[in-house]
Structure 1
């Protein structure tokens, strides 16, 4: 670790400073020796070698600072540690042997050579031969004297320097491998960072391009990231300052624009708890700046949790729906007043005994038509408010169904349709007879209208697994598969009905479905184009027979 840090530090320096730092330890050591042990300087035989070695070291140090090494080949700098080996040899072998310990200073140039020289072979040869040449005079003298005690130090010096060189070379090779690996990883991280930043910019552009407010929240319900449209929606409702560290403090109102939504029902809270939300409408804010939002939420899979919410601005649509409902209510109300007057006067006229049979028949037709218009106006009012009052009580459905079948026979005969009735004896249920009769009226009326070529209509009622099933079967034009899922929508009419110019406004089946739901039941349809349809109204069975 120390070697690695030193290498990184040296790499950050300029070439002259780096070379000077390599040379500095040796120069300092020789200067310290010269000051601490001045004895050899007094020897006339040793003085020339010591001066030569000292000048060589100092000259190499000066060259480190003056030579522009960055302009020369990289390996040229190795002349400095080789010169250091020579200077160490000159100083060590001068005098009477008192400076032989300076041979250990060879470790400085040996480390330099081991780190810097490219060739492994030449590195080992230089690091062995250099110290060996330094020890050669001592070894020669030891051979001449028969290897006296202490001569082994001279033999160990080249071996120790070679060992140091091998260790440094191995460590340097490992560091170089790590450096290459780190460089590769750094390049990979840089590429991943660039790709991540590019993806981030692309994602931000995509999110800001859509006309839907999108926000990601954490498990605590706090916004983590949002797009431009979400911020605009909040700003439009005047609630952007409320997005604080305490969480989104927004005034969510129910679809009626009056009922505050409890905090636990806020979409942020529900989504953070992992709940999926599909197209629920909330009003955000109050007054003219209120915004209607259709919200979709999906949880984020994974241990981090959180969710993503999409806010669609449906203010214009919600306002248009309210305006349409208000228009329908107004028109229906305006219809009911004159129709009530017409029916009242028709009742008075029909009480007269001076009417001829033909006139009475015509007046009764007019009365039935006016009553149908009055019922249609009531249906329009009910459909516009989406609230049909239902008063439940225990009753037998058989008399209700028989009465509705009798009322429909005249229209069936006029249309050339046969009406068959198959009812079980006991059909008790908890119902509102008026609303159930209204639903059956609509089903029978539709069956008659949509059987232009005659045929048979069957009204059947039976008990089945806890339900009373009221079935109206016809052999008319039928309904296509792609339109079957929409027939219970308000004001929807099939393409075949429009082409056939059959009168209607598309409210009957919607009202039948609502009536079934208010009773805790359901309305189902099975249809085959060209072969007819079967509508089945399921109501929970209950009463004396249970």
Structure 2
């Protein structure tokens, strides 16, 4: 690698030299070698000092070296410097002729001007002629001066130098072709780099424009991308104290431990959504909903993650205000309703003392008061959030049987048949009162949404490490889009509204809150016109598991 660096540095330095300096450097190796050989020859053979051809050849090389460095080649016609290697043939010929016996291989120095002429690319055809004629004349001049070498040797020497010249020409052409390809590749790479830089700039601008925080992590959990909104969230956290910053759980007061923080969870390969955290000092906290998706490589290994964060403070505060309002109104209705029901019960206890027809009217009033009482109870339960539960070993089969027994009057009034498919006993760890509330609500809904009669089937069984509870009806059913919204507060299907089926859409929301508080799950499958099935999973009671 260091040799390549030195080569590139030398190439750059050479390209910065003037034409005069470059021509001189091309002549310098040959002139230095001839002068050194001449000095050594004079020391070894002093008689060469009296040889005019040898001395003229050496002096001619020195003159050509001086001319190479001193001539204003920039002002002369392009390629005029080629006269230097052409005259080198003459100088080598004189040196060879004068010291042929002492230095028999000096004629091979003709390769220097051959290389120069071939690599320059100046006058290619005439250059080939010169590469043959010059070496031929070098040995030919020796033959004229009395050498015993035949003319055939001179011809062969010239042909050899032409072969070297042709090889150099082809090598130069290949080098030039490679250089052009390299330049084209470099230009394409530069273009792609510019395009990539422009796209990165556009992506950064888009990401910095959106109001959603975004963090991208690599496989090592290191951040590779963070947009402007996320940096503002980071600032809220980094202004914290020595406990690690202002990052709290959903209750707004419990600091999140490092392994529960969104970025750390994502770095560990978790995928999650709607994970609510609170950022910033407690007097100016912001609610942020976070979600993360883990990425996998082709081998299925963790390759990174993307975390998005959205400020939902206004929505959370709005929902909180709505729930406070519902709770306050419900509490205001609770006391007078309790009083009304109490007085109606007292009056109806003395039903025989009432005038004819009054008892029936009071009964109607009592039923409607009870309906209003149930509505207020649902509103209070929905406003209180997740239901509190008291877990203990509970026989789910017994709860199903009691709930079906209580629902018989409602089912008989609407022509619905109730069926149960349960084991003899099925122990769960649950709150019997809350699970009875879940089951009563599901069975009541199944009967209510089967206005033309039908069948409601309740099943319970063990499945792996959980208890499975199903309530299936053959009623009006729901569309897939309605099924996905059924557990939201105040949601009612189009068919329920059009059929004037009573209700405010809180029962299933409360039911889900109860199931979630048990650590269970609930989901719904439905087909319009063919009925609905609700499936609940609850934890088994381990110590008494069958």
TM-score of the two chains, using structure 2 as the length reference:
0.78
Structure 1 unaligned segments of length 5 or more: list them: 243-247
Are the counterparts in 2 of residues 218 and 305 from structure 1 also a CA contact under 8 Å?
A: yes
Instruction: Trace 1:349-388 onto structure 2 (pairs within 5 A).
Output: 349-352=347-350, 354-356=353-355, 358-388=357-387
- Of residues 333, 336, 356, the one that matches 2:334 is 336
Distance 1:90 1:382, change over 3 A: same
**Does 2:455 match 1:455?**
no
Distance 1:480 1:234, change over 3 A: same
Q: Separation in 1 of the partners of 2:368 and 2:424?
A: 31
Match of 1:273 in 2: 268
How many residues are aligned here?
A: 526
Instruction: Trace 1:23-422 onto structure 2 (pairs within 5 A).
Output: 23-28=27-32, 37=42, 46=52, 54=59, 58=63, 61-62=66-67, 65-69=70-74, 72-74=77-79, 76-90=80-94, 92-93=96-97, 103=107, 105-117=109-121, 122-142=126-146, 165=165, 168-169=168-169, 172=172, 175-235=175-235, 237-239=236-238, 250-302=245-297, 305-352=303-350, 354-356=353-355, 358-391=357-390, 392-394=392-394, 396-397=398-399, 400-401=402-403, 403-405=405-407, 408=410, 413=413, 417-422=414-419
Structure 2 unaligned segments of length 5 or more: list them: none
Give the SS at the match of 2:308: strand
Give the SS at the match of 1:287: coil
Are the counterparts in 2 of residues 428 and 545 from structure 1 also a CA contact under 8 Å?
A: no
Instruction: Trace 1:423-462 onto structure 2 (pairs within 5 A).
Output: 423=420, 428-429=425-426, 430=428, 432-443=431-442, 445-447=444-446, 449-450=448-449, 455-456=452-453, 458-461=455-458
Give the SS at the match of 2:504: coil
Offset from partner CA, 1:358-399 (integer Å, 9 cap, x none): 333333433333333333223222222332233445452366
Distance 1:217 1:249, change over 3 A: farther
Match of 1:245 in 2: none
Q: Separation in 1 of the partners of 2:156 and 2:61?
A: 26
Are the counterparts in 1 of residues 114 and 161 from structure 2 also a CA contact under 8 Å?
A: yes
Are the counterparts in 2 of residues 350 and 363 from structure 1 also a CA contact under 8 Å?
A: yes
- CA apart distance, 1:82: 0.7
- CA apart distance, 1:212: 1.4
- CA apart distance, 1:506: 0.5
Are the counterparts in 1 of residues 137 and 154 from structure 2 also a CA contact under 8 Å?
A: no
- CA apart distance, 1:507: 0.6
Match of 1:495 in 2: 494
Distance 1:389 1:78, change over 3 A: same
Q: Separation in 2 of the partners of 1:107 and 1:536?
A: 94
Offset from partner CA, 1:52-82 (integer Å, 9 cap, x none): 98468626743653334476233x3211211
TM-score of the two chains, using structure 1 as the length reference:
0.78
Match of 1:512 in 2: 511
Distance 1:304 1:92, change over 3 A: farther
Give the SS at the match of 2:296: coil
Are the counterparts in 2 of residues 91 and 99 from structure 1 also a CA contact under 8 Å?
A: no
Are the counterparts in 2 of residues 291 and 313 from structure 1 also a CA contact under 8 Å?
A: yes
- CA apart distance, 1:492: 0.7
